[in-house]
Chains A and B, each alone.
Chain A
């Protein structure tokens, strides 16, 4: 029995080895504890953050876009919620098959080719909107929901434009083009330039998700913040009225601005379009619109540039007065033409105006008077005063494709046509033909500058921008002479627009200037002649009819600038339209 007992020495060895193993075990435990200390105490914040990031999902909810109002708080662009079918590329590889399935289940008439083209460049995590979902379609979809992994119904916001006549100013919205953009954005005119102001802030739904991305619960909701509203200077009734006054079958434009602060009260262009078709994604209509050779997207009020014709004459007169080139009382004899070198420059009135002083020259729009003035003047003086009075300027009022136009000068001609200036060109420029290019909005501003005595308010569309004045003061005497002459155009017999005060005596009394913008060189004598309109001339080659007027003539409040392309003479077509519009604005106190 004794020998079966383990020896004393062996027991000692076993006990010694025990200690070694216990110590090793203790050291290992200590290492593990140190590591836990490092993870849980020292680097706690790092792992806590990782853990929070793991489980949080942020879903954005679209904000309502700011509304756009006219000056009297009539809504002209608003937003509403709607539901759409949207495909999320990241949710299923078979998303395209599912789109086809959806189309056959619910007759959506989707254009697969177009969708596949757009889907390719689309961010895979934001839903690509396929089509609006009506209530019946939503019900049908929900019944078959299990068939679709990548298609969901999402809430989105939609713009609506109740008045088509504002489309050319408000512009429209487009789909996001970059993956960083989540929602439709303004792509034209005010919708584009006021994007930041209007778009608002998306809401955030923070929710806890599991490893598969399924929402377990919503933690907090930050409501979306509606974009800022935009109040415009435009007047709904005037805008609609002016549009109705533009001849349906003619291209043309009307701009009405306020004399006191430069507010644009209405701004129309014909033909026009309906911005709603972009929101409703009526692709056929959009295609027709883009292919229309009448260019309805083109707003003639600020993108259309024409030779101003005789409405330019006050600038020439002012240069003459400022430079002491003319005495307003001194008469020039108009025999129907003026010669420079071996060339004759004709007055529109073939038989001549006879003795003409400055007032009569403006009132009856005598070209010879201005030819004589032009012979003494320098084109650069004309150019510099034009720029002072609002021409040759691009107004920064949030409109797309707003142009600068052209006021010719020696330097300009050298730079662009690489030719020196000819005196004959000064003659043509002084009556508003030649290289001169002005937009209807610029002409309205020019007359505002004249009526305001040189320092004029910069045109504005945003009601909340402060009125800013620019320009140089004119000599008070000179300004009075010009304004008196402009009043005489309508108010005195033989004025080129005197017919207005005879045919509509009950209308507000206005002043203004007629103009005819030459498209092709026709007989000089036929310009400004009322009979012109009856002449059989190919429509395309007829001159543009121009009129810039203001009302009331003694205390100007409104300026209307009208151009009717290929309309003929200013007095026959544009002037009566301007008179009606000024009367409407005055009577309705817009």
Chain B
């Protein structure tokens, strides 16, 4: 089940270093979001991080074969978890997203992303295609992705659901579906989007309308976007400086510790800081991706590529929300937004990435 202990020395330490830097920036940011106080967010987040570290190393040490073998089990577990959430879940802010496990509020949808990617990687690995994949063989993963999308979307948690569906689609695309199908799908989606609109909940429609024109409701639903843009815009080229962000320290920015945490960062550190942060996340994305080019096993490649993409993708979606180029759908900023489930799932992803990056493919791994 576990690798030999000495394999820990083969880890990609640069990746770990970047991860720590990003986490540390997140800590500093939560500290400033509380107006220069560890309480309540920065300290809690650090405690969680330390608490999750053993699990982090446990995942690093897992045999890839074990992960391969249990891929479907993981998927069934999150399926049960999601159904349990829907039935017994803890409701907060109009949505049922959490279940209580051993005193923790767990957001199962966060782990769905990992399980879905792993099981789809196994599926395509076993498919062992010679060339591009036809529609028929992509149907099953597509259906599974849509099932999970729906299960999360009805919580309702549209942001996470979209990420789940997007990851499923990225796996299918990456695994080599014929290019014609994605192009046709995009065409169909664009043409039926007016019908999809009617399926959205009124608050989701509102969010999109207000995204298109925040001034429709400057003190209500447009308030988030307007205040976030003011915070970021007033940061300027160099930023207001550490702890000098007035928008955030004076409580003008709602949800500043979760979805809008980037605004806090950008107000303090400006355009320069923001570009540096984007660069860090991009490098973090590229390190596992570059490793994939040296690998020859589809399972390994898919896991490394798509899970690495997942972190970067969520990062881009989140900051696009705060700067008003995407509607506010509720996607956390990896390692920077306050929240246990997001931190845990991203740490597990990083552990998986570190695990798979240290793979020596000369050994036979999978059946």
* Residues of chain A having any CB pair with chain B under 8 Å: 1, 3-7, 9-11, 13-15, 17-18, 21-22, 25-26, 28-29, 31-33, 35-37, 39-41, 43-44, 46-48, 50-51, 54-55, 208-212, 216
Instruction: Decide: A47 near B232, CB < 8 A? Known: A4-B367, A25-B312, A35-B325.
Output: yes
- CB contacts (< 8 Å) of B231 on chain A: these are 51
- CB contacts (< 8 Å) of B131 on chain A: these are 9-10, 13
Given contacts A50-B234, A54-B250, could you give 12 more A-B pairs where the C-beta distance is less than 8 Å? A10-B176, A15-B293, A17-B173, A17-B176, A18-B305, A25-B309, A36-B232, A40-B274, A47-B232, A51-B230, A51-B231, A211-B252
Q: Which residue of A lies closest to B170 (CB)?
A: A21
- CB contacts (< 8 Å) of A25 on chain B: these are 282, 285, 309, 312-313, 316
* Alpha-carbon gap, A47 to B235, bound state (A): 9
Within 8 A of A (CB), among B56-113: none
* Alpha-carbon gap, A5 to B309, bound state (A): 24
Of the A-B pairs whose beta carbons lie under 8 Å apart in the complex, a sample of 8, sorted by A's number, is: A6-B297, A10-B298, A18-B292, A21-B173, A29-B278, A32-B278, A40-B237, A41-B237
Q: A464 → chain B, closest Cβ, in Å?
A: 48
Instruction: Decide: A4 near B366, CB < 8 A? Known: A32-B323, A36-B323, A41-B237.
Output: yes
- CB contacts (< 8 Å) of A22 on chain B: these are 286, 289
* Alpha-carbon gap, A37 to B367, bound state (A): 51
* Residues of chain B having any CB pair with chain A under 8 Å: 125, 128-132, 170, 173-176, 227, 229-237, 246-247, 250-252, 266, 270-271, 274-275, 278, 282, 285-286, 289, 292-293, 296-298, 301-302, 305, 309, 312-313, 316, 319-320, 323-325, 364, 366-367
- CB contacts (< 8 Å) of A9 on chain B: these are 130-131
* Alpha-carbon gap, A117 to B237, bound state (A): 54
* Alpha-carbon gap, A32 to B131, bound state (A): 35
A14 touches B175 (CB 8 A): yes
**Max chain B Cβ within 10 angstroms of own Cβ: one of A26, A28, A54:** A54
* Alpha-carbon gap, A5 to B301, bound state (A): 12
Q: Which residue of B lies closest to A7 (CB)?
A: B130
Q: Which residue of A lies closest to B323 (CB)?
A: A35
**Max chain B Cβ within 10 angstroms of own Cβ: one of A17, A28, A46:** A17
* Alpha-carbon gap, A82 to B302, bound state (A): 77
B319 touches A40 (CB 8 A): no
- CB contacts (< 8 Å) of B323 on chain A: these are 32, 35-36, 39
* Alpha-carbon gap, A41 to B305, bound state (A): 34
A18 touches B233 (CB 8 A): no
- CB contacts (< 8 Å) of B266 on chain A: these are 36, 40
Q: Which residue of B lies closest to A8 (CB)?
A: B296
Q: B196 → chain A, closest Cβ, in Å?
A: 22
Q: Which residue of A lies closest to B297 (CB)?
A: A6
A32 partner, pick from B289, B292, B319, beta carbons under 8 A: B319
A47 touches B229 (CB 8 A): yes
Instruction: Decide: A54 near B247, CB < 8 A? Known: A29-B316, A36-B271, A48-B234.
Output: yes
Q: B298 → chain A, closest Cβ, in Å?
A: 4
**Max chain B Cβ within 10 angstroms of own Cβ: one of A9, A29, A212:** A29
A29 partner, pick from B235, B252, B282, beta carbons under 8 A: B282
* Alpha-carbon gap, A211 to B325, bound state (A): 25
Instruction: Decide: A54 near B309, CB < 8 A? Known: A14-B292, A40-B271, A47-B233.
Output: no
- CB contacts (< 8 Å) of B227 on chain A: these are 54
B316 touches A33 (CB 8 A): no
* Alpha-carbon gap, A55 to B267, bound state (A): 14
- CB contacts (< 8 Å) of A26 on chain B: these are 282
A10 partner, pick from B128, B312, B366, beta carbons under 8 A: B128
B301 touches A44 (CB 8 A): no
Instruction: Decide: A21 near B309, CB < 8 A? Known: A10-B129, A15-B293, A46-B233.
Output: yes
Instruction: Decide: A14 near B234, CB < 8 A? Known: A37-B271, A54-B252.
Output: no
A40 partner, pick from B236, B250, B293, beta carbons under 8 A: B236
- CB contacts (< 8 Å) of A212 on chain B: these are 251
Q: Which residue of A lies closest to B230 (CB)?
A: A50
Q: B181 → chain A, closest Cβ, in Å?
A: 13
B250 touches A208 (CB 8 A): yes
Instruction: Decide: A5 near B233, CB < 8 A? Known: A14-B175, A22-B289, A39-B323.
Output: no
- CB contacts (< 8 Å) of B229 on chain A: these are 39, 47
* Alpha-carbon gap, A111 to B106, bound state (A): 60
* Alpha-carbon gap, A44 to B235, bound state (A): 8
Q: Which residue of B lies closest to A1 (CB)?
A: B364
- CB contacts (< 8 Å) of A4 on chain B: these are 128, 364, 366-367
- CB contacts (< 8 Å) of A31 on chain B: these are 325
- CB contacts (< 8 Å) of A17 on chain B: these are 173-176
Q: B335 → chain A, closest Cβ, in Å?
A: 17
Instruction: Decide: A43 near B250, CB < 8 A? Known: A6-B296, A21-B173, A32-B278.
Output: no
A14 touches B301 (CB 8 A): yes
Q: A446 → chain B, closest Cβ, in Å?
A: 67
B125 touches A6 (CB 8 A): yes
A18 touches B293 (CB 8 A): yes
* Alpha-carbon gap, A202 to B225, bound state (A): 37
* Alpha-carbon gap, A208 to B274, bound state (A): 27
* Alpha-carbon gap, A54 to B286, bound state (A): 40
Q: Which residue of A lies closest to B245 (CB)?
A: A51
- CB contacts (< 8 Å) of A11 on chain B: these are 296, 298, 301
Q: B87 → chain A, closest Cβ, in Å?
A: 37
Q: B325 → chain A, closest Cβ, in Å?
A: 5
- CB contacts (< 8 Å) of A208 on chain B: these are 246, 250
Q: Which residue of A lies closest to B306 (CB)?
A: A21
* Alpha-carbon gap, A55 to B132, bound state (A): 58
- CB contacts (< 8 Å) of B367 on chain A: these are 4
Instruction: Decide: A40 near B270, CB < 8 A? Known: A14-B292, A33-B275, A211-B250.
Output: yes
> Which 5 pairs from chain A and chain B are nearest by CB?
A47-B233, A51-B234, A40-B271, A13-B176, A210-B250
Q: A97 → chain B, closest Cβ, in Å?
A: 26
Q: Which residue of A lies closest to B237 (CB)?
A: A41
A5 touches B251 (CB 8 A): no
B128 partner, pick from A1, A6, A28, A209, beta carbons under 8 A: A6
B128 touches A7 (CB 8 A): yes
* Alpha-carbon gap, A25 to B320, bound state (A): 13
* Alpha-carbon gap, A520 to B234, bound state (A): 82
* Alpha-carbon gap, A468 to B250, bound state (A): 61
A14 partner, pick from B174, B237, B252, B324, beta carbons under 8 A: B174
Instruction: Decide: A54 near B230, CB < 8 A? Known: A33-B278, A40-B266, A40-B270.
Output: yes
* Alpha-carbon gap, A44 to B230, bound state (A): 9
**Max chain A Cβ within 10 angstroms of own Cβ: one of B250, B285, B298:** B250
B234 touches A47 (CB 8 A): yes
- CB contacts (< 8 Å) of B129 on chain A: these are 7, 10, 13
* Alpha-carbon gap, A210 to B298, bound state (A): 54
Instruction: Decide: A44 near B293, CB < 8 A? Known: A21-B309, A32-B325, A211-B251.
Output: no
